[in-house]
Amino acid sequence: MQSRNPFPYAKAICYSGFRDGQSPGGLFPTYAEVKSDLQLLQNDWKYLRLYDCDAHAETVLEVIANENFDFKVMLGAYIVGEQNNPDCPWDTPHLSDAELDANAELNNERIKLLIKMAQTHSTIVNCVSIGNEASVSWTDHMVPVERLVEMTLQVKRHLDQPVTFCENYVPWLDKLKPLVKELDFISIHTYPVWEYKSIDEALTYTQQNYQDVVDLYPDTPVLISEAGWATQSNGRGIDPSNVNEKLQKRYINELMEWTESSEIITYVFEAFDENWKGSNDAQEPEKHWGLYKVDRSPKMVLK
């Protein structure tokens, strides 16, 4: 498979450092905690992906700058829904027109903050993403494609760094074609375990997801901004028998062997388990994608 990267190949990982008792909008990781995390990651990873321009991202960028860590960051803006999505499979409130308009204004401010932070930390932020999973059919924060185009153009007017949007591979095959014309590169998500694939099918499925997008856009660089394997599940969307540390180790090892040999930039999802995610069920799969547990002990894949 032919790789087409927007910047030089190196190993990449998604980083969100929220520990027990911490969450977006609540308590954030401290400087010392982020420094400790990055010390764990620094020998194996060059590129980090951050999801939002929040206090956590500010701390991460500050630690990288102050401690002279050799990381480059994909900085994201976490945009919220500007239209209701009746196809979202979990219960979501129906927002009024006024609430949707307020969300649009909030997104405008988040895009401005993305621009400001990327300008301030231009030596560390090597690319930016205008959003995450805001166009796929099941999202709970749907944003119209024309608004994604608008945001992209605004960011490109103010930044020198390349601009992308991070999304499941499916919308890239049709819905997001107007957006691709404005982006510097495409960032796809691929999760065979969410699509009921066995471990024996997993890598081939990931490779096909990637190649389908690459084939459709021969003139646009494509990278993988999320790929991973959970280690626990309560049965909601993922069969518990299809997730454990042994299976994660196999998938990540096969993924890394392929992407390294093909030099496809791939942000592994994710560095650390995060207990704030999803439901209150301890077996909720959203909590268990890390290569490290919440207490920072390594899972089997790192041993």
Average pLDDT over residues 218-246: 97
Average pLDDT over residues 131-142: 97
For residue 259, pLDDT beyond 60: yes
Residues 291 and 44 sit within 8 Å (Cβ to Cβ): no
Q: How far apart are the C-alpha atoms of 156 and 153, rounded to whole Å?
A: 5
- Contacts of residue 154, defined as CB under 8 A and 6 or more positions apart, other chains included, come to 111, 115
Average pLDDT over residues 110-118: 98
Give per-residue pLDDT as tens, 10-58.
999 999 999 999 999 999 999 999 999 999 999 999 999 999 999 999 9
Q: Is 40 helix (H, G, I), strand (E, B) or coil?
A: helix
Exposed, middle or buried by CB within 10 Å (0-12, 13-18, 19+), for 43?
A: exposed
pLDDT value, residue 91: 81
User: Mean pLDDT over all residues of the chain?
Assistant: 97
- Contacts of residue 122, defined as CB under 8 A and 6 or more positions apart, other chains included, come to 160, 161
Neighbour tally for 72: CB within 10 Å? 17
CATH number for 12-302 (one of 3.40.50.720, 3.40.50.1700, 3.20.20.80, 1.10.10.10): it is 3.20.20.80
Backbone angles phi and psi of 264, in degrees to 5: -100, 115
- Long-range contact set of residues 290-298: C-beta below 8 Å, sequence gap at least 24: 291/13, 291/248, 291/252, 292/40, 294/19, 294/20, 296/36, 296/37, 296/40, 296/272
Neighbour tally for 61: CB within 10 Å? 23
For residue 3, pLDDT beyond 70: no
H or E stretch at 13 = strand 12-14
The single-letter code of the amino acid at 298 is P
Q: Which stretches within the chain are classed as H helix? A: 31-41, 55-67, 97-120, 145-158, 169-172, 177-180, 199-216, 245-262
pLDDT value, residue 81: 98
Average pLDDT over residues 176-180: 98
